[in-house]
């Protein structure tokens, strides 16, 4: 008897497994069928989602571009302290150490008089008159300097202040901050606004992309709301009705993700040289191709996530029959 019972429950659980699998298979089948048979509607919906995903992609690239550009600008800002010719090297190194101990300072580079001369010669290579006039001078006319970089452009004022008050000020020939203060301040303000504005822009455009996608899917489902009612009346459970729409959402997301990357490739290839003119540090094409799978992954995640969530929310409204 007990064996019989065991067998019976085994058969039962197998049956319910088969039932579950057939239901799953039917849901997936109807998802694909719905996508295929509503050809025009699916194409229209898909192209809108592709556009929305292109916006996402554009935002990702925009983010990388502004970051690189701002970093490049930040690297160009610095304060240089030039020392009088009679300053002993030991003292300069001591000052360097004390500057390095400041929290605001990112790096301090020491350029000796000899090195300064080397750099100068290198820079004016081929300009005969300058090299000649330099050789006429017996002494090296260039000054030793410390090149100071801060973590944050706003901190240059503090560093300049520190230098102004220091007791080793006697050795200073000149400090460039005094000359560049206005430019540095302005640059740091521009960097600040660019960062904040960029973030606001990203949030705004991302929100638009999400809403457009959601609305498009909602409209596509709205056009089949009567069918949802019919399915309810024939005795379909909510999950059986919802399932194919979720599958369609996944199909939209996957196709749109792949298409958006494929469409972006030639565009990126075309604009990459122009970007390089503005931001020499940025090779957009090589960045895009080397991060291709990461970008594709994000696009698929966005696409599928948006597709599924939009479908679920949109169908829910018509399931109340």
Partner 1 sequence: MLLLNKLITLFYEHRGRGAEFCSQSGCTTFALLGKIRMIIFQNVSKIYNGNGHQVVALEDVSFTINPKEFVSIVGKSGAGKSTIVKLLIGEERPTKGRIIFSSYDVNKLKKSELPQLRRHIGVIFQDFRLLPNKTAFENVAFALEVAGRLQSDIEELVPQALEMVGLKDKMFNFPRELSGGERQRVAIARAMINHPDLIVADEPTGNLDPINTLEIVKLLLKINELGTTVILATHNKEIVNYINRRVISLENGRIIRDEEKGKYILV
Give me the residues that bind partner 1 (CB under 8 A), please.
18-19, 22-23, 26, 33-34, 37-38, 224, 226-227, 230-238, 240, 320-321
Q: How far is the CB of 267 from partner 1 (least distance, A)?
A: 36
Nearer to partner 1, 25 or 270 (CB): 25
Q: Is 228 exposed, middle or buried (0-12, 13-18, 19+ CB in 10 A)?
A: buried
> What's the alpha-carbon Rg for the chain, to the nearest Å?
33
Q: How far is the CB of 34 from partner 1 (least distance, A)?
A: 7
Nearer to partner 1, 43 or 286 (CB): 43
The dihedral over CA atoms of 120, 121, 125, 127, expressed in degrees to the nearest 10, equals: 80
Report phi then psi at 232, rounded to 5.
-60, -45
Nearer to partner 1, 33 or 265 (CB): 33
The counts of H helices and E strands in the chain are 11, 4
Nearer to partner 1, 150 or 314 (CB): 314
Nearer to partner 1, 93 or 321 (CB): 321
Cα gap 196→312, rounded to integer Å: 34
Q: How far is the CB of 4 from partner 1 (least distance, A)?
A: 23
Cα gap 321→319, rounded to integer Å: 6
Q: How far is the CB of 240 from partner 1 (least distance, A)?
A: 6
Do residues 23 and 240 lie in contact, with contact meaning Cβ atoms separated by under 8 Å? yes
The number of angstroms, rounded, from the C-alpha of 148 to the middle of its chain's C-alpha atoms is: 29
Q: Could you tell me which residues come within 8 angstroms of residue 142 by beta carbon, excluding any fewer than 6 positions away?
A: 113, 116, 117, 120
Q: How far is the CB of 218 from partner 1 (least distance, A)?
A: 18
Q: How far is the CB of 243 from partner 1 (least distance, A)?
A: 11
Nearer to partner 1, 22 or 286 (CB): 22
């Amino acid at each position: 008897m007990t064996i019989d019972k065991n067998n019976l429950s085994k058969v039962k659980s197998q049956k319910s497994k088969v039932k579950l699998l057939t239901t799953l298979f039917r849901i997936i089948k109807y998802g694909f069928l719905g996508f295929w048979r509503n050809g025009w509607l699916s194409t229209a919906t898909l192209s809108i989602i592709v556009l929305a995903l292109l916006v996402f992609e554009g935002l990702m690239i925009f983010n990388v571009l502004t970051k690189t550009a701002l970093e490049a600008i930040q690297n160009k800002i610095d304060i240089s302290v030039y020392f009088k010719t009679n300053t002993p090297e030991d003292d300069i190194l001591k000052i360097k150490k004390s500057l390095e101990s400041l929290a605001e300072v990112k790096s301090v580079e020491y350029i000796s008089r000899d090195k300064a001369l080397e750099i100068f010669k290198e820079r004016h290579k081929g300009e005969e008159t300058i090299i000649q006039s330099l050789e006429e001078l017996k002494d090296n006319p260039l000054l030793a300097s410390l090149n100071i970089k801060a973590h944050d452009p706003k901190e240059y004022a503090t560093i300049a202040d520190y230098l102004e008050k220091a007791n080793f000020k006697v050795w200073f020939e000149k400090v460039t901050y005094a000359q560049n203060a206005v430019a540095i301040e302005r640059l740091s303000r521009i960097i600040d606004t660019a960062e904040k504005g960029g973030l606001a822009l990203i949030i705004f455009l991302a929100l638009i992309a999400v809403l457009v996608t959601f609305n498009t899917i909602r409209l596509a489902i709205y056009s089949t709301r009567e069918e949802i009612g019919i399915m309810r009346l024939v005795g379909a459970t909510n999950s059986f009705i919802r399932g194919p729409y979720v599958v369609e959402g996944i199909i939209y997301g996957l196709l749109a993700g792949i298409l958006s990357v494929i469409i972006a490739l030639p565009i990126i290839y075309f604009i990459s040289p122009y970007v390089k003119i503005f931001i020499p540090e940025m090779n957009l094409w090589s960045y895009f191709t080397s991060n291709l799978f990461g970008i594709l992954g994000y696009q698929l995640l966005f696409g599928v996530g948006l597709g599924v969530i939009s479908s679920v929310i949109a169908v829910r409204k018509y399931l109340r029959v």
